[in-house]
Structures are given as C-alpha cells and as structure tokens.
C-alpha cells in the first residue's frame, strides 16, 4: 500500500473527527438561550451549581478555548457529568458500550454470513432460487429496523415463544438469546442490500472475458469461482459490507429502544428526550468516532484488495 | 442579447422531459411502483379529509378492539380508529421525506454543479468538505438536533437533509464533470453564454434524469429514517398521527396479542419504501444507460 494514500486517509480521519467534535461541542451554542441553559436542559439550578458548570466548561473564556478544554478532557476520558444521574458520563458510557458493541457485532456476523452467502448462491445458481432471493431481498431491503423488530417480536417472542421479547440477558448464553431478535432486526435490511450487491458483483465478474477464457481453457469450476470470480467480486462486496456495518452503529439506537436493551443508542435517545446534553455529547462523540474509524478501515481494506485505488485515481 | 452570428449552431442534447417519458422503459415493476407512489401521494393530500373517524379523539373503552363493521383495521391503544389514523398520518409521513429530499437535492445539486464548473480549488474544497460531512450518520445528527432544539419534525428533517446532501453531491458532481467536458459546453462558452446560463439551462437539465433517480431513491431512505426518529419519540409528537408514532405507541399491544395497530402503519411504510426503491433503481439504471 502506498504511504501517501495511507497518510491522506489518516489525515481525512483526523479532519473528520475534529469537525465532528466541533459540531458536537458547538451544539451548546446553537441551542436557544445561553450555553448554561443548554447544559442544564432548562432546569433551574442553584447558583452554586451554575458556578460549577461555568467552571467545568470554562464558560468565561473564549469559544475556541472552551472547545479546546472540552476536547482535551474528552481525549483524557473525561466527558463531563450527567445532569440527570449526576454521574460521570464516561462511567455511564462504559457500562453500556458492550451491549451496543455486542449487538452490532452479532448483526455484522449475520450480515456477512447470510448476506454474502445468499448473494453467492443466487449469483452462481441462476433459476428459481435466484429469483426468490431477488424478490425477498427487494422486500427486506425496504423493511425498517423498527418494523422488523415488531414483526419478529410478534412472531418469535409472542406467538412461538422461542426468544425473549425485551431486555438484556444475565450471562453470555442468555445474552445471546436476548440479542438474537434485536440482531436480526438490525441486520435485515443491510443483509438484503449486501446480498443484492454480492449477486450483481458475481454476475458481472462471471460475464468478464477473462472468466470466459478460463472456462474455455477447461479450468475446474471450483477453482474458476474461487480464483477468477471471487477475487474480483470481493472488492465491491467488501465496500458494501463495510458501509452497511458502519451504518448499524446509528441504527442500533432504534433497535435498542424497540427491545429495551440497555445500550448506548437507547441511552442517547432518552438523554436527548431529557435534554441531558453532556451525555448526548459524550455518546455522539463515541458513536461518530466508531463510525468514522470503521469507514476508514473499509477504505484501507479496499485499497489492499484493489491496488489501483492507491494510485490516486479517485472514483467519481 | 448579442448580435454576433454564432459560428456553429449547437443543439444541446435535451435531457429530462416529462414524467411520462421518464416512466417509459421502467418496466411493469416500475409502473406498479409509480402507481403505489401516486396512491400514497393522493392519500397524503386528502387523507385527513376522508378519514371516517377522528384520528386523535381517544375512547379508552374501545382500546385494542379488533376489526368490526365500519372499522376495518380495528382500534388502537387509546381506542381510536386505526384506518383514520393511518389516513391522517399519511400527510406528515410523506411530507417529511419530501422536505428532506428537496433540501438535500437543492444543496447537493448547487454544490455539485459549482464544483464541476469551477474545478480546481473550488472542487477540491467542496469535495473534501463533503468527505468530512460523511462522518455524521443521519439519525445521529437528528438526535443531536432534537437534544438541542427540542423534538419535532422540522429539526429532524433539516438534520437528515444535511446528512444526505454529501451522497447526492458526490454522484451529481461526477455526472456534472462529464457534462462540463462535452463539446457543446465549450461551444456555448465561445458564443459568450454566461456560466449561470450554461449551468442552469444546459448542464442541470442534462443531468436531470440522474437528479430524479437520486430523489426517488433518497425518498425511501428519508421515509425510513424520519419514521425511525418519530418512533424514538424525537420527531412528530403524539397525539398527532404519523406512521412512525403509531408503531411506537401501539407496540404495547404486541405482547397482549393485538399486533394489528402497530403492523398496519409498518406495512404502509414498507409498501411505500419498496415502491420508491424499485422505481428509483430503474430510473437510475435508465439515467446511467443514457450517458
């Protein structure tokens, strides 16, 4: 991989994170009223508490200095204090981050295994199977996570009683059981998109001249698929998988709320409803960072798979 | 008007055309999708007027009563007619995504055309600015906006428009760049046509099929994301009717064995989104094939 490419991507990563953190911090000043009102969420606080808030956010200093203090605190793991729970935001995040990470990971595995698997099957075996994958993926791609959630609960939790409907589990095994329906709700539409892209990538590669040549040379089908079709099709498949998995981080908030899971996203939503700005800022920062880092990782994987990318010819 | 006689008369290729022209060639699935979208649009306009019962007046005695004569979809968790709430809720469920799409397209097209027209530094600045904007997933930006400005449809719609804009601009910039290098653009420049005229009268109409395809695809995404935000309680506020709100408030009926009031709005969302996805995909293929 070219060093210049790596350097450019990392510079973009830092720039993205700086801008994102600036927006997240600047939200304080966009709010109607003064920053104190935004930080207290419209609650009337005693003067001593206001003094503490003022000192904590260095509100008597210029805007950029405030941002700098806030950012360097955040980088040191200090994200402020929740106004509703009066607890450290970092502690509150740490206790919930594994629920979200586990959910996203579980959904990612489902997407990769089932999405790519179905795409491969339907791409390599034209016919009835292909048509049914095509139609079912067109429908599932349009099913929002929260609609999938209520359908799955109605079917598998209420009617068949296979899985619990709500809440986290207590140990690893019960966690898996509790997370199965949420993970499928989260994965469903992405799974369909990945399957469709995989299918068309396989089809496109199979029609290429070099594959036709390989066929005429009598290369065994197994080898043909693995070395000639999959190698090239892997490029778009990696990209779409990476993009959809990164997008799960935001959608997880919806699924966690639908299933009452005690994760970061659900907590972000209740904090937004309660106008607990320190928590909203902290969680936004964590989620945006994860989103940007995954996106850059996908770009780098893409460059490894397709060396042409690093030569600087940007796709339009 | 310049009096100089043009050396060459240039006939710029005309893109766009009427909606009927765009629909032709999208196939049966495309036309079926257009019909679904048409019906949803009509319901969004007249739905609140034709709703047979009040969409907001609760009658707790009828909570979660199943379908009966005159109430084909039964009653919701507060005993309101589900069909009436679906009809009344169509307006905000369709109008929200429309606002998002218009906002994202307008800003995205302007940026894309400016980047393609000026090239060089302007293009570099706009392109890297867009790359940085990709850092914010739409839902996350909307939640942040709700925390700052309070829950509501306008804040959510504006946030989503901002988050979608880079996707629009990236695709359109590529198309506009291609158009910019066509000989007819150079010919128009030689004839002294102003850059605004060339951009607005020639380049934009020529990338119009792509703009329409983008709008169609984005509408589906916007509908899902806006409904999700209302589902989270940060968009349209109850008791106002909205498909996302209806799913959220009738969720309690599912463990009790009354899934219909939550499933019905879910079905509406899925049907409309499938229609927009299928039609958008067809229009996109068509627009790509044209160039």
- Whose CA is closest to A150, among A283, A302, A254? A254
Helix (H, G, I), strand (E, B) or coil at B75: strand
Q: Please give the pLDDT value at position B102.
A: 95
Contact at CB, A250 and B269, closer than 8 angstroms: no
Mean pLDDT of B50-76: 80
Tell me if A283 sits within 8 A of A271, measured CB to CB.
yes
Chain A nearest-CA distance from B141, in A, is 9
Q: Please give the pLDDT value at position A214.
A: 85
CA–CA dist A164, A261 (Å, integer): 12
Which A residues in the span 28-47 are in contact with B, Cβ-Cβ below 8 Å? Answer: 28, 30-32, 38
Other C-beta atoms within 10 Å of B156: how many?
30
What is the pLDDT tens value at each position of chain A, 316 positions in all?
578 888 888 888 898 899 889 988 888 788 777 777 777 777 777 787 778 877 777 777 888 888 888 888 888 888 888 877 778 888 889 888 998 999 999 999 999 999 999 998 888 888 888 888 888 888 888 899 999 999 998 888 777 878 776 766 666 667 777 888 999 999 999 999 999 999 988 888 888 888 888 888 888 888 888 888 888 888 888 888 988 998 899 999 999 998 888 899 999 999 988 888 888 999 999 999 999 898 888 888 888 887 776 665 444 3
Q: Please give the pLDDT value at position B15.
A: 46
Where residue B257 falls (left for φ over 0; alpha for ψ -120 to 50; beta otherwise) is left
**Position B190 confidence tier, pLDDT thresholds 50, 70, 90:** confident
Q: Please give the pLDDT value at position A309.
A: 67
Which A residues in the span 271-300 are in contact with B, Cβ-Cβ below 8 Å? Answer: 271-273, 275-277, 280, 284, 287-288, 291-292, 295
Other C-beta atoms within 10 Å of B202: how many?
21
pTM to 2 decimal places? 0.86
Chain B nearest-CA distance from A161, in A, is 11
Mean pLDDT of B219-247: 92
Q: Please give the pLDDT value at position A217.
A: 87
Other C-beta atoms within 10 Å of A238: how many?
17
Q: Please give the pLDDT value at position A287.
A: 92
Average pLDDT in chain B: 84
Chain B residues with CB under 8 Å of A284 CB are: 140, 143-144
CA–CA dist B69, B181 (Å, integer): 64
Contact at CB, B263 and A291, closer than 8 angstroms: no
C-alpha separations of B140 from A23, A184, B151, B154, B228 in Å: 12, 21, 13, 15, 11
- A128-132, A312-316, B115-119, B255-259: range with lowest mean pLDDT: A312-316
Main-chain dihedrals φ then ψ at residue B152, nearest 5 degrees:
160, 160
Nearest to B132 among A19, A154, A287 (CB): A19
- Whose CA is closest to B276, among B215, B205, B203, B194? B215
Chain B nearest-CA distance from A76, in A, is 22
Tell me if B63 sits within 8 A of B91, measured CB to CB.
no
Specify the number of domains making up chain B. Answer: 1
Tokens describing residue B270: 């899925």
Chain B nearest-CA distance from A147, in A, is 6
Q: Please give the pLDDT value at position B151.
A: 86
Helix (H, G, I), strand (E, B) or coil at A88: strand
Whether residue A14 lies within 8 A of chain B, CB to CB, comes out as no
In a domain, B104, yes or no: yes
In a domain, B56, yes or no: no
Tell me if A207 sits within 8 A of A86, measured CB to CB.
no
In a domain, B169, yes or no: yes
In a domain, B4, yes or no: no
A112 or B290, greater pLDDT: A112
Chain A nearest-CA distance from B187, in A, is 25
Which A residues in the span 125-144 are in contact with B, Cβ-Cβ below 8 Å? Answer: 138-139, 141-144
In a domain, B87, yes or no: yes
DSSP designation for A84: T
**Position B20 confidence tier, pLDDT thresholds 50, 70, 90:** low
B22 or A47, greater pLDDT: A47
Helix (H, G, I), strand (E, B) or coil at B15: coil
Whether residue A52 lies within 8 A of chain B, CB to CB, comes out as no
Residues constituting chain B: 291
Nearest to A273 among B131, B233, B244 (CB): B233
Q: Please give the pLDDT value at position A312.
A: 54
Q: Please give the pLDDT value at position A248.
A: 92
Nearest to B140 among A32, A158, A288 (CB): A288
Helix axes B138-149 and A3-30, enclosed angle (nearest 10): 20
Q: What whole-number percentage of chain B has pLDDT above 90?
A: 32
Q: Please give the pLDDT value at position A269.
A: 93
Q: What is the dihedral of CA B50, B55, B60, B65, to 10 degrees?
A: 50
In a domain, B53, yes or no: no
Q: Please give the pLDDT value at position A316.
A: 36
pLDDT > 50? residue B282: yes
**CATH number of the domain where residue B139 is located:** 1.10.3720.10
Instruction: State the residue range of the domain holding B29.
Output: 24-47+78-290
Q: Count of A–B CB contacts within 8 Å?
A: 143
In a domain, B96, yes or no: yes
Tell me if B248 sits within 8 A of B231, measured CB to CB.
yes
Q: What is the dihedral of CA B51, B52, B56, B61, to 10 degrees?
A: -150
Tokens describing residue B230: 């209302």
B43 or B61, greater pLDDT: B43
Annotate B195-217 with three-state secondary structure: HHHHHHHHHHHHHHHHHHHHHHH
Main-chain dihedrals φ then ψ at residue B7, nearest 5 degrees:
-70, -40
Q: Please give the pLDDT value at position B19.
A: 57
In a domain, B273, yes or no: yes
Q: Please give the pLDDT value at position A315.
A: 43
């Amino acid at each position: 991989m070219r060093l210049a490419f790596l350097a450019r991507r990392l510079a973009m990563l830092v720039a993205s994170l700086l801008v994102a953190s600036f927006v997240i911090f600047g939200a304080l000043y966009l709010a109607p009223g003064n920053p104190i009102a935004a930080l207290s969420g419209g609650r009337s606080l005693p003067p001593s508490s206001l003094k503490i808030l003022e000192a904590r956010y260095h509100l008597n200093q210029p805007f950029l200095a405030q941002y700098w203090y806030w950012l360097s605190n955040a980088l040191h793991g200090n994200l402020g204090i929740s106004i509703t729970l009066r607890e450290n935001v970092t502690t509150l995040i740490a206790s919930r981050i594994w629920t979200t990470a586990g959910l996203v990971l579980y959904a990612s595995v489902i997407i990769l295994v089932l999405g790519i698997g179905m795409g491969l099957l339907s791409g390599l075996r034209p016919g009835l199977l292909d048509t049914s994958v095509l139609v079912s993926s067109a429908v599932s791609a349009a099913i929002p996570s929260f609609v999938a959630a209520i359908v799955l609960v109605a079917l598998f939790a209420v009617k068949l009683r296979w899985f619990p409907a709500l809440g986290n589990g207590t140990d690893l095994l019960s966690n898996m059981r509790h997370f199965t329906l949420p993970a499928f709700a989260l994965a469903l539409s992405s799974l369909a998109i990945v399957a469709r892209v995989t299918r068309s990538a396989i089809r496109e590669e199979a029609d290429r001249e070099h594959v036709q040549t390989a066929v005429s040379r009598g290369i065994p089908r197994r080898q043909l698929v693995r070395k000639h079709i999959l190698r090239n099709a892997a490029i778009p498949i990696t990209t779409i998988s990476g993009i959809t998995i990164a997008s799960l981080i935001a959608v997880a908030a919806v699924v966690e709320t639908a299933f009452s899971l005690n994760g970061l996203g659900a907590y972000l939503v209740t904090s937004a409803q309660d106008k607990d700005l320190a928590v909203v800022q902290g969680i936004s920062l964590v989620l945006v960072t994860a989103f940007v880092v995954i996106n850059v990782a996908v770009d780098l994987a893409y460059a490894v798979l397709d060396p042409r990318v690093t030569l600087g010819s940007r796709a339009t | 008007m310049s009096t100089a006689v043009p050396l060459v008369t240039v006939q710029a290729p005309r893109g766009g055309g009427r909606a009927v022209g765009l629909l032709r060639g999208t196939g049966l699935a495309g036309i079926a999708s257009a019909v679904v979208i048409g019906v949803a649009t009509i319901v969004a306009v007249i739905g609140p007027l034709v709703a047979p019962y009040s969409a907001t007046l609760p009658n707790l005695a009828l909570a979660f009563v199943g379908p009966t004569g005159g109430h084909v979809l039964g009653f919701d968790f507060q005993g309101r007619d589900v069909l009436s709430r679906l009809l009344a809720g169509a307006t905000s469920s369709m109008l929200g995504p429309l606002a998002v799409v218009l906002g994202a397209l307008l800003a995205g097209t302007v940026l894309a055309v400016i980047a393609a027209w000026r090239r060089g530094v302007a293009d570099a600045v706009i392109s890297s600015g867009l790359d940085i904007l990709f850092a914010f997933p739409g839902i996350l930006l909307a939640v942040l906006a709700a925390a700052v400005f309070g829950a509501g449809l306008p804040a959510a719609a504006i946030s989503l428009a901002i988050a979608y804009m880079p996707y629009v601009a990236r695709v359109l910039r590529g198309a506009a760049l291609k158009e910019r290098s066509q000989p007819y653009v150079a010919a128009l420049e030689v004839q002294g046509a102003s850059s605004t005229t060339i951009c607005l009268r020639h380049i934009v109409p020529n990338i119009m099929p792509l703009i329409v395809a983008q709008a169609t695809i984005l509408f589906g995404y916007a509908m899902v994301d806006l409904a999700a935000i209302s589902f989270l309680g940060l968009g349209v506020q109850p008791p106002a009717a909205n498909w996302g709100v209806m799913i959220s408030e009738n969720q309690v009926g599912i463990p009790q064995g009354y899934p219909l009031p939550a499933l019905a709005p879910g079905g509406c969302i899925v049907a409309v989104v499938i229609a927009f996805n299928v039609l958008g995909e067809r229009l996109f293929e068509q627009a790509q094939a044209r160039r």
